[in-house]
Structure 1
Amino acid sequence: MTTPLLLLVESNTTGTGRQFAARARDLGVVPVLLSADPARYPYAAEDGLRTVVVDTADDDALWAAVTGLAAAAPVAGVLSSSEYYVATAAGLAARLGLPGPSADAVRACRDKAAQRRALAGAGVPVPRFSVAGDVAEAIAAAQWVGGPVVVKPVQGSGSLGVRLCRDRYEVADHAKGLLAATVNERGLRTPGVILVEQYLTGREFSVEVFGEEAVVTVAKHVGAPPVFVETGHDVPAVLPAAQAAALADTAVRAVEALGLGWGAAHVELRLDGDVARVIEVNPRLAGGMIPELVRRARGIDLVGCQVRAALGEPVDLTGTPDAAGAASIRFLTAGAESVLADVAAAEAAARAVPGVVDTALYRPAGTTVVPAEDFRGRVGHVIAAGTAPGESAEAAETALTLGLATALTPATAGVPVREAVPV
């Protein structure tokens, strides 16, 4: 009997992409990566992942490739671990009669302007916002919203293009740059409008939702304005009961209001007093290694759950009793232009901290790194586990400060600046 296939439409470059393929193999299914450029994902060659080269932005070409594969072996599921292709994967799954979210709901969700309108219309708390198609509209929107505003693309991920603007001149400058782009970092066409929204200063969290169930609330750490680079996460978040309930309830309401409710959703929120306001809903698994934190802290394999859901298999979100209880990640970023040196020694020092379970520097010694503008500027990470969030957080922060950060030395002339990590 021919082994069934799980089709993976493109991938993210770090984190869960590799894990999706591994979980498929564990379930006795052959993962197949459909990509315009498989070389973008080094793990594909390293793991011997079967790949098909196809223009994934061309619906007809993609469908021809899928039907060709289906003629030779049964297709059991279609997924994508990439923000940019979740709607494409959902559409293919629907055409094949396979499990998946509503493609229309995913497409609408990926447009942050449409998403905000839907949430506001359903009574889900969101920041004040407006949509702008030119610089003048962006300035007017900022004046209407009032105070410092966040200006960002209506599509995207990883904080790309997200910036705090404190006056009309900063709004105009950033809006002009965003609106001038005709394609995004993946080469896909941009909508030509941007979002101008109220800047909320309360603590930031995410709620990981599966189906219509809030699985866990994650405490998020972000870098200094004007950019919003995520520098760490703690699982689970420690909160008063009322705030924890507000975050979880609001996240589930948001998922329902957007017509999702299948598989994973990553809901980002900020507390505004005791009100949980939705910053955005992502119709996919979280990035930033959050699924790995959830697995270590709670014993819930969200990647495996997503693969099982795509294959029509039952999903268990109860976790395991032998899980650590808490897990934290901290990302290394450079405060100024620096050179990575003594990488091996820095990683060894980080691993020596009790509680640390994983550590990595993403570039070799001798690489010049610069302050992060988005997730691509992160230089490395440490993950720690413990019985309580405070324990895991302290271990991760110690390993970052006394371990990985020792690899950063002041930059010297003549060393090339590193290339950005592909999205």
Structure 2
Amino acid sequence: MPRRAVILIEGASNGLGYVQAAQHLDLDPIVLSADPARYDYLAAEGIEAIRVDTDNLEALIRECSRVAADIAGITTSYEPFCATVGKLCRHFGLPGPNPTSIEQCCDKFTQRQLLAKAGVPIPAYRLAANTTDVESSAAEIGLPVILKPATGSGSVGVRLCRNIDELAEHTTYLLREKHIWRSSPRVLVEEFAQGPYYCAYTMGNEAIAISAADSGPPPHFVFRECTLPAPLTGDEHERIVEVSLESLRALGLGWGPATIELRWTKRGPLVIEVNPRLAGAPDPQLIQLAYGVDLITEHIKLAIGQECNLRRKYSRTAAERFLVADRDGTLDWIDGVRRAAAVEGVAAVKFHVKPNTPIVRKGDYRDWMGYVVACSPSRAQTQTILERAVDLITWSITPLPALGDQAQSAEPCIRTRQTL
């Protein structure tokens, strides 16, 4: 008897994890993508991939009907297609998220309106469509403010504006220059919520874990390190769980995974953003290392109508360090990866880039060249393991020559070492 198929719409940092989890559940994963070649793991794993316009719902419906007579479930690891998956699941009578709730959540302005209406604590915010709106909104809220697109993920286009000059510069960037809009430009102007950053990971109506993270220097928010579990008192943990579940109820997200970002301020926890999907890699790996809960597998179980098991099997401390370049240029070489991976307690060392790759920092998740993951019974031990492994990794980046400056191209490579 042929195995049942699970349809995966596009992929992202967790794409390989979803493919492998489906196989472990004795399912045949089939990936539908506008460009399957962008996912190198498909060929490596021998996974069936179909080229289709994934922005076209009718085309997806036709392809799903054609490629698999027995579809066990349809899902995705990529936020832009979560609402599409919800619509496909409704069409085929399969378990899935509410597409309307997903669409409302992915519109950051609508999300904030719904959270505010439900009494969920959030930063002050305004919606702006032009420079005048941005300036007046910032004046009402008070500098510093956060400027961000009303749609998107990965901190793309997000910046702290500490003064009028930075506000004008980033407004110009978002509205008149390089930011790519898939619809009419809409910018959120938000109060800068100051305090420790936490992330709550949920499945259905249950909070699974809470991590703490640190980002690099402002004005951007490029995360450098994440630790799970977060160092919280019992009352703090309870309050973050309470606010997170309130957010899910306000947004109608009681099915599947979600990731809630918060900052603990003088007013307590404020919800910065709710993402209606599983966090990107390697966060699911941290949860599995720390608690023995495989959220990717449990998500697929939900998608195929099975009951998921979110019970913790143990409690350890897991942490990740993102490897970020300190300059633009050409990556010449990377050294020490095998030595770092051999350190006892290191669970993963991964680079997304290869030598001879141009490095152009953008101030968002695309600045991550790779990461190191470590785990042990204690926070202090995990931190020691992480530092030991990261210290073994070095790389060289040759700065790009300034326009018209041919002499600079002859300068020797500059060896850099990862630092926080």
For the criterion TM > 0.5, the same-fold answer is: yes
SS at match of 1:217: strand
Is 1:116 aligned to 2:104, yes or no?
A: no
Counterpart residue type for residue 398 of structure 1: R
Q: What is residue 316 of structure 1 aligned with on the other side?
A: 309
Looking at structure 1, the residues matched to 79 and 179 of structure 2 have their Cα atoms a distance apart, in angstroms, of 15
The answer to whether the 8 Å contact 1:109/1:281 transfers is: yes
CA change 1:193–1:409 in 2 (3 A) is: closer
SS at match of 1:237: coil
Q: What is residue 193 of structure 1 aligned with on the other side?
A: 186
Q: What is residue 39 of structure 1 aligned with on the other side?
A: 37
Match of 1:279 among 249, 272, 278: 272
SS at match of 1:106: helix
1:46-76 Cα distance to aligned partner (Å, 9 max, x none):
1111111111111222222122235xx1111
Q: What is residue 403 of structure 1 aligned with on the other side?
A: 392
Superposition deviation, residue 236 in structure 1: 0.6
Looking at structure 1, the residues matched to 31 and 282 of structure 2 have their Cα atoms a distance apart, in angstroms, of 21
Q: What is residue 169 of structure 2 aligned with on the other side?
A: 173
The answer to whether the 8 Å contact 1:333/1:380 transfers is: yes
Counterpart residue type for residue 144 of structure 2: P
Match of 2:254 among 245, 261, 268: 261
Q: What is residue 230 of structure 1 aligned with on the other side?
A: 223
Is 1:126 aligned to 2:122, yes or no?
A: yes
| Equivalent pairs, count | 403
Is 1:203 aligned to 2:196, yes or no?
A: yes
Q: What is residue 83 of structure 2 aligned with on the other side?
A: 87
Superposition deviation, residue 409 in structure 1: 5.0
Q: In terms of mean alpha carbon deviation, does 311-320 or 369-378 score higher?
A: 369-378
The answer to whether the 8 Å contact 1:264/1:285 transfers is: yes
Counterpart residue type for residue 45 of structure 2: D
Superposition deviation, residue 127 in structure 1: 0.4
The answer to whether the 8 Å contact 2:348/2:373 transfers is: yes
CA change 1:242–1:191 in 2 (3 A) is: farther
Query: TM (normalized to structure 1)?
Result: 0.90
Looking at structure 1, the residues matched to 126 and 196 of structure 2 have their Cα atoms a distance apart, in angstroms, of 23
Is 1:104 aligned to 2:100, yes or no?
A: yes
1:151-194 Cα distance to aligned partner (Å, 9 max, x none):
0111111111111112233223322322347984xxx7234211
Superposition deviation, residue 370 in structure 1: 4.3
SS at match of 2:54: coil
1:247-270 Cα distance to aligned partner (Å, 9 max, x none):
111111101110011111000000
Q: What is residue 390 of structure 1 aligned with on the other side?
A: 380
Counterpart residue type for residue 54 of structure 1: V
The answer to whether the 8 Å contact 1:202/1:270 transfers is: yes
The answer to whether the 8 Å contact 1:138/1:196 transfers is: yes
Looking at structure 2, the residues matched to 178 and 411 of structure 1 have their Cα atoms a distance apart, in angstroms, of 27
1:309-328 Cα distance to aligned partner (Å, 9 max, x none):
0011110011324x6x1110
1:80-109 Cα distance to aligned partner (Å, 9 max, x none):
100111111111011111111111000100
CA change 1:192–1:365 in 2 (3 A) is: closer
Q: What is residue 20 of structure 2 aligned with on the other side?
A: 22
Where in structure 1 are there 5+ consecutive unaligned residues? Answer: 416-423
CA change 1:367–1:37 in 2 (3 A) is: closer
Looking at structure 1, the residues matched to 307 and 291 of structure 2 have their Cα atoms a distance apart, in angstroms, of 19
Superposition deviation, residue 336 in structure 1: 2.1
The answer to whether the 8 Å contact 1:368/1:411 transfers is: no
Looking at structure 2, the residues matched to 183 and 9 of structure 1 have their Cα atoms a distance apart, in angstroms, of 25
1:136-147 to structure 2, matched below 5 A, reads 136-147=132-143
Counterpart residue type for residue 229 of structure 2: P
Counterpart residue type for residue 3 of structure 1: R
Superposition deviation, residue 123 in structure 1: 0.2
SS at match of 1:385: strand
The answer to whether the 8 Å contact 1:159/1:228 transfers is: yes
C-alpha RMSD of matched pairs (Å):
2.0
Match of 1:332 among 311, 323, 339: 323
CA change 1:274–1:138 in 2 (3 A) is: closer
Looking at structure 2, the residues matched to 371 and 133 of structure 1 have their Cα atoms a distance apart, in angstroms, of 27
Superposition deviation, residue 40 in structure 1: 1.4
Q: What is residue 366 of structure 2 aligned with on the other side?
A: 376
Looking at structure 2, the residues matched to 288 and 403 of structure 1 have their Cα atoms a distance apart, in angstroms, of 22
Q: What is residue 418 of structure 1 aligned with on the other side?
A: none
Looking at structure 1, the residues matched to 303 and 121 of structure 2 have their Cα atoms a distance apart, in angstroms, of 31
1:123-171 Cα distance to aligned partner (Å, 9 max, x none):
0000000111111101111111112111011111111111111223322
Query: TM (normalized to structure 2)?
Result: 0.91
Q: What is residue 419 of structure 1 aligned with on the other side?
A: none
Looking at structure 1, the residues matched to 179 and 149 of structure 2 have their Cα atoms a distance apart, in angstroms, of 11
Q: What percent of counterpart residues are identical?
A: 34
Looking at structure 2, the residues matched to 151 and 298 of structure 1 have their Cα atoms a distance apart, in angstroms, of 36
SS at match of 2:152: coil
Looking at structure 2, the residues matched to 117 and 229 of structure 1 have their Cα atoms a distance apart, in angstroms, of 26
The answer to whether the 8 Å contact 2:327/2:397 transfers is: no
Match of 2:240 among 247, 268, 285: 247
Q: What is residue 299 of structure 1 aligned with on the other side?
A: 292
Match of 2:155 among 151, 154, 159: 159
Q: What is residue 418 of structure 2 aligned with on the other side?
A: none
